[in-house]
Chain A
Amino acid sequence: MTLLRSLVIVFVTFLASPTFLSANEEHAASDTISRKKFNTGDMIFSHIKDSYEWHITTIGHTHISIPLPVLLYSETSGFHSFSSSNFHHGEEAYQGFHIASEGKYQRKVVETMPDGTEVKPWDFSITKNVTSLFISIILLLVIFLSVAKRYKENFARAPKGIQSWIEPIVVFIVEDIAIPSIGKEKYQRYLPFLLTIFFFIFINNMMGLVPFFPGGANVTGDISVTVVLALFTFAITSYSGTKDYWMHIVNAPGIPLWLKIPIPLMPIVEIISVFIKPFVLTIRLFANMTAGHIVALGFYSLIFIFAEKSIFAGYGISVLSIVFTVFMGLLELLVAFIQAYVFTLLSALYFGLALEKHVHPEEAHK
């Protein structure tokens, strides 16, 4: 308990730490100098969106960032791989490629064709989010493989260290999510997936809250990540769907016949709902995490917006901003857990629905 509390305190301190603040300040300061005006939307989006380099801080006009590999496949010029430092923070072109500063492909690498048009190549680059994804996966593997080793050595031993942090959550997922949602007979098949998505989402959410390397990337706030997670849930749901489940979609029992014939209203609604489920999972996680980041960054932006009017107003508002951001940080800690829980719970519920056998369909709909 004390450990947890001190972790939270350390975490919050970092969240409101001068490092984070100065990073923004410098960034903003250079922005104001070079682009004349502080652009809040631009600043926020550059933080929550993916990028080809891992920006750490900017001192004066010097950008400090970790260059990441760019891997491209162009239909015209073939395969390319080079460091993102060749773009010089998006200011220069390299091998006919450059990062679009605006338009449809803003912040993405595009290839300039001989006729002057910009074409997006197949982009396999190890971007900031991909790097963060890899780091989180390595972290997950290290944590769980070492914990598994301890369990293998002696199952009867009392949990210790990270194991005692993992165990209650695992038991919680097994006993309060999997068993009630899926049922006693078949829940074990789905446990590996449920446990993996829970810890994957939770770890990435938490890493997203840490404002410096190796955290700070908005992985679970990227729709590409959440859509993959939801597709896994969708695929498993569809794969484990019983005959009853599909019959229920095509021909829902207990519904008046005029809703099915001549216009198959209910079947259409049911089929849409099959696809809405993963869509909602995608959007919920993505929107929650992104919104949290946007709000926290928005509070910081207030400092610079006010500083543009008067430097003292900027300092004045900074107190309020920090208080609000700390509050947001605490809220986000809660949200990080809740979103992981909700995603896991809903996935489990969908699996449970797919496995359901309607013995008495009339009673089931009463």
Chain B
Amino acid sequence: MGLVMPDFGLFFWMLLSFSILLFVLKRFAWGPILQALSDREKSIEDALKMAENAKEEMLILQSGNEKILKEAILEREKIVKEARDLKYSIIHEARQEAELEANKILEQAKAAIERERAGAVSEIKILIANFSVEIAEKILQDKLADNAKQQELIQNSIDQINLN
């Protein structure tokens, strides 16, 4: 029977010391340990969540990049097209202007040529007149070299005047 009968002394010491143990461990050991464990669990969870978020953000960023790239390509094409259009229009305009200018120059040249020609013609006319006078002079001098002939001519001319 002695084995299964609780002993007062041990019961007393056990009750006392176990209560103290429970109190001390609760106050100074389990509190910090459990707190630390839950803190660690939370921090790990947070870290995982943050990694997940970062991954998502990166995906978003990546798709953004792609969008930007696409836009850039479109923009480039647009710019290139615009430039090409501009080139064509400039060339076209230049050509038109050149044509116009050329025409104008041509007109002016034509007018100048015309003028020159008219000048030349009138000059030639004067020259021919002068030549004719000189020739006539020479012929007259030649014809009036001797007095007889001069008399004849004068006679002829007086004759003619008399007739009138």
Kindly provide the distance from the CB of B28 to the nearest chain A CB, expressed in whole angstroms.
6
Residues facing B in A120-159 (CB within 8 A) are 122-127, 129-130, 133-134, 137, 140-141, 144-145, 147-149, 151-152, 155-156
**Are B15's CB and A228's CB within 8 A?**
yes
Interface: A174 (CB within 8 A): yes
**In the complex, A250 has a CB within 8 A of chain B:** no
Which chain A residues (48-79) contact chain B, with CB distance < 8 Å?
A: 48-50, 71
The 0/1 profile, CB within 8 Å of A marked 1, for residues 108-120 of chain B is 0000000000000
* Chain A interface residue count, Cβ-Cβ cutoff 8 angstroms: 52
B6, B15, B30: the one within 8 Å of A223 (CB): B6
Q: Check if B142 is an interface residue, CB within 8 A of chain A.
A: no
Residues in B with CB closer than 8 Å to A156 are 39-40, 43
Given contacts A49-B3, A195-B25, A228-B15, contact A130 B37 (CB under 8 A): no
Minimum C-beta distance from B13 to chain A (A): 5
Interface of A is mostly: helix
Which residue of A48, A137, A170, A228 is within 8 Å of B37 (Cβ)?
A: A170
B145 to chain A, nearest CB (A): 147
Closest chain B residue, CB of each to CB of A195: B30
Interface residue ranges of B1-28 to A (CB < 8 Å): 2-15, 17-18, 20-22, 24-26, 28
CB pair B22–A222 under 8 Å, yes or no, is no
Interface size in chain B (residues, C-beta < 8 A)? 35
Is B136 an interface residue when CB atoms closer than 8 A count as contact? no
User: Do the beta carbons of A196 and B43 come within 8 Å of each other?
Assistant: no
Nearest CB to that of B14 among chain A residues? A228
Chain B interface, >50% SS class: helix
CB distance from A97 to the nearest CB of B (A): 14
- Bound together, the chains give a CA A188 to CA B34 distance in angstroms of 9
Q: Find chain A residues with CB under 8 A from B24 CB.
A: 141, 145
Closest to B8 in A: A123
Report yes or no: A125 in contact with B36, Cβ–Cβ below 8 A.
no
Residue of A106, A124, A174 touching B2 (CB-CB under 8 A): A106
Bound: A222/B14 CA distance, A:
11
Beta-carbon contact of B10 and A129 below 8 Å:
yes
Q: Which of B11, B13, B25 contacts A144 (CB 8 A)?
A: B25
In the complex, A156→B21 CA distance in Å?
27
B interface residues with partner A (beta carbon < 8 Å): 2-15, 17-18, 20-22, 24-26, 28-37, 39-40, 43
Q: Could you give 23 example pairs across A and B, Cβ below 8 Å?
A: A48-B3, A49-B3, A50-B7, A71-B9, A107-B2, A130-B10, A133-B14, A137-B20, A145-B24, A145-B28, A147-B29, A148-B31, A149-B32, A152-B36, A155-B36, A155-B37, A170-B34, A191-B34, A192-B25, A193-B22, A195-B25, A200-B18, A223-B6
Please give the residue numbers on chain A whose beta carbons come within 8 Å of chain B beta carbons, in ascending order: 45, 48-50, 71, 106-108, 122-127, 129-130, 133-134, 137, 140-141, 144-145, 147-149, 151-152, 155-156, 166-167, 170-171, 174, 188, 191-193, 195-196, 200, 222-225, 227-229, 232, 286, 290
